[in-house]
Each structure stands twice: as structure tokens, then as C-alpha cells.
Amino acid sequence: MFKKIDMQNLPVHIGIIMDGNGRWAKKRMLPRIMGHRAGVDALKRVTKSAKKLGIKVISYFAFSTENWKRSKEEVYGIFDLILKHLKENYDEFVNGNTKIMTMGDISKLPKELYELLLDVTEKTKNNTDFVVNIALNYGSRSELARAFTNLAKKGKVDITVDDIKNELYTANLPDPDLIIRTSGEKRLSNFMLFQSAYSELYFPKIHWPDFDEKQLKKAIKEYQSRDRRFGNVKQEKN
């Protein structure tokens, strides 16, 4: 029951679909935006824990290409929360050793947020300790369409898997070993479809604002109990 995490077998890259903010708020009779606010607190908590545990890359699905369908109030409320988080932690980000990067078409975000994201990603681009990758106005299908368009523009005809990989936002990142989606839904919803070919998937029932270090450790232990074969056969121990 109290099995420890095997530090030699940590996932290098964890992807997180932060679901359940709205349900968390509804349960408390709060407006949805309060759920997102609690979601930012969870993101801060989990990022710190992941870094402390020795995870190298963490990717968060913060805003999808489909999320524009939500009310204006909610959409711009989420952008305001992200802007506030970046402003409040700006010094820590630019003086620390974490690389902050984004994936998705951030040019469509409000100007102030877009410019701050460009600034923070530029100032942290050479950091090596840890990577926080934020998916914003991101959809995996658009990412693939963009990749194929880029390859076509380069005149590529015989396209290899590596050619595609190199055109994705995640070109310089390892594929996610583990993808966590909170709140019980068992689907990827257009998140890293190409990159997740061999990811282990984990769907805890807990809503994202309640996710913490204990939950993260539980997810890692579950990951470590899986038999990752990458298409190979099980290697028997002698």
C-alpha cells in the first residue's frame, strides 16, 4: 500500500488535462471562474511538486481551440487569471531556471497576455532545469495541419515521422510518458494526439482544483506499475 516511488523510473514528461474546474465550483455553489482560480492554485502546487520530484517536463492543457465556444465572461476570465499568474510570478520565472514555453496559436490571445507570454518564453528559453509547457489556444489537429502545411511549403514529399515531429510545437521535447486527465472523463480531447502514441493514460476521478502532491505521487506510482512495451514483447526476467 505504501510503496515508494521508484526514483529510477520517473516519467520524464507528464501531460495534464486540467478538467473539472467548473464542477468543483458548482459543488460549492460558486461561479465557474472561481473553479478556474482554484485551478491556477492547483497548477502552482503541482508544478512545484513535479519539479521537486525530478520530473523534467510538465505540459498543461490550459485553453483549447474549442474553449472559445464558452461564454465571453469565462474565456476572458481564464485569460485574466493566466495574465495575473504571469505578472505575479514574473521575477521568479525570469530569474529561475525553469523554461516556460507555450504550444498553440497564442497570437489570437489578448495583446497584453500574448506579449507577456512572448517576453517570458524568450527570457527563459535557455533554462535547463525544468520545462513548463502551456497549451493555449491549442488543438492537436490544428497543430498537425500546421506541421503538414510547413512541410508542404518546404517542398517535402516523402514525409517521415521525424519530419512531422520536428514541425510540432513540441519539436524539442520528449513525448509525454504519462498523461493525466482529472475529473473522470476518459478521453484526450485533441491534446497531443501525435505525441501520446505510447503515453500511459491515467484518469483520476478527482477535480483538478483538488489535485495535489499526494495525487501526483499516486499517478506516478500507477505509471510505474504499467508494463510499457512500445510494441515489443514482455521482457522476462532471468
Write out the binding residues for ligand FPP, residues 51-80 only, by CB under 6 A: 60, 62, 67, 78
Establish whether 67 is a catalytic residue: yes
Number of residues located near ligand FPP, criterion CB under 6 A:
18
Q: In what order do the strands lie in the sheet with 178-181?
A: 98-103, 130-138, 57-64, 13-17, 178-181, 200-202
Catalytic residue chosen out of the listed positions 6, 9, 67, 119: 67
Q: Which of 22, 104, 176, 204 binds ligand FPP (CB under 6 A)?
A: 22
Look at residues 57, 42, 19, 35 and name the one whose alpha carbon lies nearest to residue 178: 57
Closer CB to ligand FPP, residue 143 or residue 167? 143
Establish whether 19 is a catalytic residue: yes
Write out the binding residues for ligand FPP, residues 120-159 only, by CB under 6 A: 134
**Shortest gap between Cβ of 32 and ligand FPP (angstroms)?**
6
181 touches ligand FPP by CB under 6 A: no
18 touches ligand FPP by CB under 6 A: yes
Catalytic positions are: 19, 67
Binding site for ligand FPP (CB under 6 A): 18-23, 36, 39-40, 43, 60, 62, 67, 78, 81-82, 85, 134
